[in-house]
Every structure is written in structure tokens, then in C-alpha cells.
Amino acid sequence: MKREYLKPDCVTVASLLSACASNGALCKGEQLHSYVIKAGISSDMIVEGALLDLYVNCSDIKTAHEMFLTAQTENVVLWNVMLVAFGKLDNLSESFRIFRQMQIEGLIPNQFTYPSILRTCTSVGALDLGEQIHTQVIKTGFQFNVYVCSVLIDMYAKHGKLDTAHVILRTLTEDDVVSWTALISGYAQHNLFAEALKHFKEMLNRGIQSDNIGFSSAISACAGIQALNQGRQIHAQSYVSGYSEDLSIGNALVSLYARCGRIKEAYLEFEKIDAKDSISWNGLISGFAQSGYCEDALKVFAQMNRAKLEASFFTFGSAVSAAANIANIKQGKQIHAMIIKRGFDSDIEVSNALITFYAKCGSIEDARKEFCEMPEKNDVSWNAMITGYSQHGYGNEAVNLFEKMKQVGEMPNHVTFVGVLSACSHVGLVTKGLGYFESMSKEHGLVPKPAHYACVVDLISRAGFLSRARKFIEEMPIEPDATIWRTLLSACTVHKNVEVGEFAAHHLLELEPEDSATYVLLSNMYAVSGKWDCRDQTRQMMRNRGVKKEPGRSWIEVKNSVHAFYVGDRLHPLADKIYEFLAELNKKAAEIGYVQDRYSLLNDVEQEQKDPTVYIHSEKLAITFGLLSLSDTVPIHVMKNLRVCKDCHSWIKFVSKISNRAIIVRDAYRFHHFEGGICSCKDYW
DNA sequence: ATAGGGTTAG
């Protein structure tokens, strides 16, 4: 009698088990399991389901599977739990086998069965199978069930079928935040931020209260388009709804401020979060990196390491990208070492970031190595490598890789074509480039964007076919933007074509009257064509409009610090030595045929009156300093904010020969590799 | 049930 009194009922045991499951308390759960066996209630359907759920939630899938195989088969819960278990492992084939088997055994899937299998389809990208299951959902009458539909919406939205997701949401008769949020975040995931916000607004207008995740998604959508004020408003709304302390909203806010370049506010929001997780940190790091505050991003990354926090794939991806954008070779390599140590080098996205990092830092060989050693590649990997080759002027390598990409069945996208078209342009492969441009729409179903038209204009005009380029612009189906006109004007300067050049400049000055580069290009074009009156007029116009030329600046990293040089500056502590060595180099260069280009200083509208022997371009200073300070086994890496002028280009070729050194210059446009008196661009740039 | 970070170009 007493024993009977003490024996807990099955429902109590099951709820204890599920408490263990949600807290990951496997030991306590196992004790309960022994008790269950002793008490003879192990075949109770509720207890049985709770036990299986315990092992699945504690990731002991093996024990769970064994239990499942010996249990009674008429309990649908067991099948559902197993679907979740294999879903956790992204094991779709086993999930699907169970899904089919349960129906063969005569069991009817319920509102928990469909979400479990559909989530697995979503996560492994098996949309076709998901669609089949969708058909069955309709047949079995679950098409109005919010649990099932929210997962269907999520699946279609995540895979870009936003119209289908939208239709499912519209057919729902019940108001459901989760279904709405699934669609809203789906739009955001495909960069349709305005559409996401539109639906968020509509949801509220319909009187559906948002939850924390809805607010978080909406704020993230604002972050995506740098809509600072709208994001703040939504934050205020979330405050009213009582979600002010929520982690997901806090993280979204950090990301919003960081991506809007509001460094201080981002830190402030970050500090407000009590239990910061890796996403909080990463919101700062990636947000700073994306808004161009790469130094800050790297600082936060270092801070995170000092706090002994484990960085994730995401964090490493962001940090490498930050190092790439500012070409911080040293820190980037340190991060790479950490990545290897932590075994994250097997992650595709991290490797993709590394390819870009090495390419942007001028080490195309290291980029290639990273690319070749990847066990698995995706489209971004190919794009990063093709673009890297292109930026370094290795047009043929870029084209070959593009052909190989198609051969292995990887689909080229818009980015691929920007890379391959600019690669053709860099080496003058006009016919080939035009063929690729044609193939974009004809073979790959891609609609060319302004950037692609700009590439084609560059391709044609740089090769000297200026009238043809002009005709192409006039006949193309989109409105030409400033980039396109600038490209044309730049080519007209190279080819001394005043007529087309004036035409381009006219449009460019209308679109961007404040851009100093236009005036500089135009006055150079007049100068090289001997039209001095026109050149003077252009300068006068520039002065009248108060437009200032961006000063040329070059920088080089020596012994962990960056040394920056402006045109003709003597600010460096070693200035005397640098100028002395420079004179020596000039003398040696002249002995083997270097002649200063008389147009070289025409770029420098303001300072043309000055003595050209004093007035030295910044890249010459940086390279001279590099030769003085670096051991002669390492290549000289120099970055420049503007394009290298013709005179400096020729000078560097001579210097690479005299000094027997590899000199790699990254200018505003591309990389130049100088070695043994020649440049990788083959003087075509 | 629904999210919040990374990678490619111009």
C-alpha cells in the first residue's frame, strides 16, 4: 500500500524527464530511466517518448536509436523524435527513410512530423523533397496549420522562393507571428530589406504583436540598408512591448549602429548587453569591417582574444575580411595562424576570406595556394580567385579559371562576370570579353548590371576603340552612370581622343560636379593632346567651383608599422637618407635608359609650378624607403590611393632591375608586379 | 516553430 502511494504517475515522470532533456542533464535522466524500468512503466507511451527525447536532446543519438528500434512502433511521438534526432545531424536520407517507414507501418504524420522533416530539408537545401512533402501536407489537410506552415514559409523563403512563401502566408487564416517573421527574415536574407520592412509594418498594422525575434529581424533589415532612424524607431517599439533586455534585439542594435558607422553608439549598445554572446562580439567586428572601420574591427577582435573568448567561423571570416580591406598583412597572417591552430581552415567561407586577403595584399601565390588546397569550393571561392587574378593583371589565368569553373559545373554569377570581364580588359582580350558579355544573358540567364556595362566600356575603350565605346554606351539599355563616363574619359586621356573625351566629361561633370578626378582627367587629356588653352580653362573651372584634388599618398609596412608618404613630403624622420638614396637610384636608372616623362606631373594641377626635382610622387618615396629598410630577400609591397602615373611606372620598372627586387604596387585600380625591369601589366593599364 | 555574424565586384 505504502509503495503504491509513493509511486509517481507516468505524467510526472515524463515531465521530470523532459526537464532533464531541456537542461541537458543526462545523468539525472539516466537515473530516472533505471527507475522507470524498475517501476515497470518503460513501455508507457508518454514515458517512452520522453525518454527518447532525453537522449536526443542530450545528443546521445546512438542510445536513442537503439531505444527506438526496440520500442513499440505505434507511438507516433517516437518517430517524430527520431526525425528531430537525424535532423540535428543533417542526415536527410535517414530522416526520410523514417518518414516513409512510419507511413508504411500505417501511422499518420501529425503537426510535429511535418515540421521536423521539413526543417531538415531546409537546412540541407533539399527543396525538391520539401516540395513533395508540401504536396502531402495539402493532401492530409495540414495546409492551414500554423506549425506546419511556418516551417514551409521558412523553407521557401530561405531558398529564395519568396513568392511561394508569400502565397502560403496569405492563405493562413490564423494570425501567426512566427509565419510572418519567417517571411520577413527571408526577405532580409535575400537582401530585400525594404520588402522585409514593408511586411513587418503590415504585420503590426494587422494587429499582430511582434515578438523579440520579429523585432530583431526588423532591426537587422534596417542594418542592411543603413536605415539608422527606422531602426531606432523599431527599437523604441520593442521597448514598449517589454523586450528591452532581449539579447537578440541587443545584438541586432549593435549590428545596426556598427554597420551605420556609428562607432560610439555601437560600443554603447554592446556594453548594455549583460550576457554577451559570440554574436554580440561579431556584430561589432563585422559591422565595423563592413562600414569601413577596419582598424576598429581588428581592435575588437584583439580585445575578444584577450578576453579569452572563443572566436567562431563567423568572427574569423569578418576579421580576415577587415585585414584584407586595409591590406594589413601582418595581422591577417596572425589571424590565419590562429585559424589553422583552431582547425577553422576547413571552413569554406573562412578560406574564401583568406583568398581575398592574400590577393588584396598582393600575394597572389598565397591566394592560389589557399584556393587549390580547399577540399571543397563554392561559387564565392571561384569568384574570389578569378577576381584576384584579374586585379593582378593575370588575365589569361583568370580566363582559364573561369573556363574550368564552368567545366566543373559551378554556376557563374554577376560577380564572376565582373571579375572575368575586367580580367579581359586588363590584358586587352577584346573579342573574348565581348563574347563572355554576350554569354551572360544567352547562356547563363543573367541580366547584365551597370558594373558589367562599365567593364565592357572599359574593354572597348582601353583598347582604343573610342567611337565604338561611345556607340555602345548610346545603344545600351540602361542609363549610363558616372563610372561608365569616367571609364570612357580615362581611356580618351590614354588615347588622346579629345572629341569623345569632351563628350564623356560633359556627362560626368553633370552627374558628379564635385569629383576632382574628372577635372584632373580632363585637364590631362587636353595637356597630352597639346590643347593648353582648354587645359587652363578646366583648371580655372575647378578653382572656381572650389574642387580640390585628392592628394596622392602611398604607404608601406616596415617592421610592424605603416609609413605613409605624401607627394614631395620631407616629414619622415629618415627623409634626408631617403632623398639621398633616391638621387642615387635616379642616376643609376638614367644610366640604363630611364628618361623622366614630361607629362608625369600634369596630374598635379596645383603644384605644377614647383621644381620637379623636389616634387616627387609618393610611391617613389615609399619604394625608396622600402629598399633602404627591408632585407633584400623580401618583395617591396606599396599601396597607393590614386593610380600610378606613367613616369612612376617606368621608373619602378628600372628600379626593380637595378635593385634586383620584386616590387608590388597596389594602386586605386589594380596590382602591378615589377620584376627584372618589366611589369605584370605589360604596360597596358 | 520564427533570428541575430562571415566570404566575391564596382
**Can you name the residues that pair with A557 across neighbouring β-strands?**
A562
Among all strands, which nt has the closest C1' to A350 (CA)? B7
pLDDT band at A62 (very low <50, low <70, confident <90, very high): confident
* CA-based nearest residue to A522, from A482, A552, A545, A493: A493
For the segment A166-186, the average pLDDT, to the nearest whole number, is: 94
Provide the pLDDT for residue A606: 47
Provide the pLDDT for residue A2: 46
Q: Tell how far CA A157 is from the center of its chain.
A: 21
pLDDT over threshold 60, residue A5? no
Residues A629 and A651 in one domain: yes
Residue A563, in any domain of the structure: yes
A380: CB within 7 A of chain B nucleic strand = yes
For the segment A203-209, the average pLDDT, to the nearest whole number, is: 94
pLDDT over threshold 70, residue A1? no
- Of the segments A120-124, A326-330, A544-548, which one has the largest average pLDDT value? A120-124
Among all strands, which nt has the closest C1' to A324 (CA)? B7
Residues A557 and A641 in one domain: yes
Residues A658 and A576 in one domain: yes
- CA-to-C1' span, A280 to B6 (A): 14
* Whole-number Cα distances in Å, A458 to A47, A485, A489, A511, A568: 71, 10, 10, 19, 32
For the segment A139-160, the average pLDDT, to the nearest whole number, is: 93
pLDDT band at A683 (very low <50, low <70, confident <90, very high): confident
Of A319-333, A374-388, A404-418, A548-562, the one with minimum mean pLDDT is A548-562
pLDDT over threshold 90, residue A551? no
Smallest CA–C1' distance to B2, residue: A178
Strand B neighbours among A 473-502, CB < 7 A = 483
Residue A660, in any domain of the structure: yes
Residues A473 and A539 in one domain: yes
Residue A11, in any domain of the structure: no
Of A157-161, A198-202, A327-331, A476-480, the one with minimum mean pLDDT is A327-331
pLDDT band at A285 (very low <50, low <70, confident <90, very high): very high
Provide the pLDDT for residue A12: 85
Average pLDDT, chain A: 90
Residues A616 and A665 in one domain: yes
Provide the pLDDT for residue A362: 86
Q: Final residue of a domain: which of A544, A579, A598?
A: A544
Provide the pLDDT for residue A352: 95
Residues A540 and A559 in one domain: no
Strand B neighbours among A 283-322, CB < 7 A = 283, 286-287, 289-290, 312-318, 320-321
A251: CB within 7 A of chain B nucleic strand = yes
Provide the pLDDT for residue A605: 43
**Is A105:A76 a contact under the CB 8 Å cutoff?**
no
Contacts 24+ apart (CB under 8 A), A475-482: A478/A450, A478/A453, A480/A453, A480/A507, A481/A450, A481/A454, A481/A511, A482/A508, A482/A511, A482/A512, A482/A515
Residues A525 and A570 in one domain: no
How far apart (Å, rounded) are the C-alpha atoms in residues A72 and A54? 17
pLDDT band at A25 (very low <50, low <70, confident <90, very high): confident
For a pLDDT cut of 90, what percent of chain A falls above it?
Answer: 64
Encode A633-649: b = buried (16+ Cβ within 10 Å), e = exposed: eebbbbbbebbbbbbbb
pLDDT band at A497 (very low <50, low <70, confident <90, very high): very high
Among all strands, which nt has the closest C1' to A213 (CA)? B3
How buried is A482 (Cβ within 10 angstroms: 0-12 exposed, 13-18 middle, 19+ buried)? Answer: middle
Determine the 3-state secondary structure of A85 from DSSP. helix
What pLDDT digit, counting tens, does each position of A641-651 carry?
888 888 899 99
What pLDDT digit, counting tens, does each position of A325-368 carry?
888 888 899 999 999 999 898 899 999 999 999 999 888 999 99
Provide the pLDDT for residue A373: 93
- CA-to-C1' span, A151 to B6 (A): 25
Residues A495 and A584 in one domain: no
pLDDT band at A671 (very low <50, low <70, confident <90, very high): confident
Number of domains comprising chain A: 2
Residues A570 and A654 in one domain: yes
Residue A175, in any domain of the structure: no
Smallest CA–C1' distance to B4, residue: A248
Q: Final residue of a domain: which of A544, A566, A593?
A: A544
What single DSSP character describes residue A332? Answer: H
Provide the pLDDT for residue A232: 94
For residue A513, give its domain range: 449-544
Provide the pLDDT for residue A434: 96
A384: CB within 7 A of chain B nucleic strand = yes
Residues A491 and A518 in one domain: yes
Determine the 3-state secondary structure of A411 from DSSP. coil
* CA-based nearest residue to A423, from A468, A463, A381, A392: A392
Residue A486, in any domain of the structure: yes
Determine the 3-state secondary structure of A563 from DSSP. strand
Residue A22, in any domain of the structure: no
A223: CB within 7 A of chain B nucleic strand = yes
For the segment A375-384, the average pLDDT, to the nearest whole number, is: 93
Provide the pLDDT for residue A613: 54
Residue A94, in any domain of the structure: no
**Is A16:A32 a contact under the CB 8 Å cutoff?**
yes
pLDDT over threshold 60, residue A56? yes
How far apart (Å, rounded) are the C-alpha atoms in residues A175 and A676? 72
How far apart (Å, rounded) are the C-alpha atoms in residues A600 and A683? 15
Provide the pLDDT for residue A600: 54
- CA-to-C1' span, A381 to B6 (A): 13
Contacts of residue A226, defined as CB under 8 A and 6 or more positions apart, other chains included, come to A259, A260
A60: CB within 7 A of chain B nucleic strand = no
For the segment A32-55, the average pLDDT, to the nearest whole number, is: 86
How buried is A553 (Cβ within 10 angstroms: 0-12 exposed, 13-18 middle, 19+ buried)? Answer: middle
* CA-based nearest residue to A509, from A521, A501, A519: A519
Grid cell in block for residue A354? 583568406
The CATH number given to whatever domain includes residue A483 is 1.25.40
**Is A546:A516 a contact under the CB 8 Å cutoff?**
no
Of A104-108, A324-328, A350-354, A598-602, the one with minimum mean pLDDT is A598-602
Q: Final residue of a domain: which of A519, A544, A569?
A: A544
Residues A518 and A593 in one domain: no
Smallest CA–C1' distance to B9, residue: A415
Residue A386, in any domain of the structure: no
How far apart (Å, rounded) are the C-alpha atoms in residues A43 and A414? 58
Residues A562 and A664 in one domain: yes
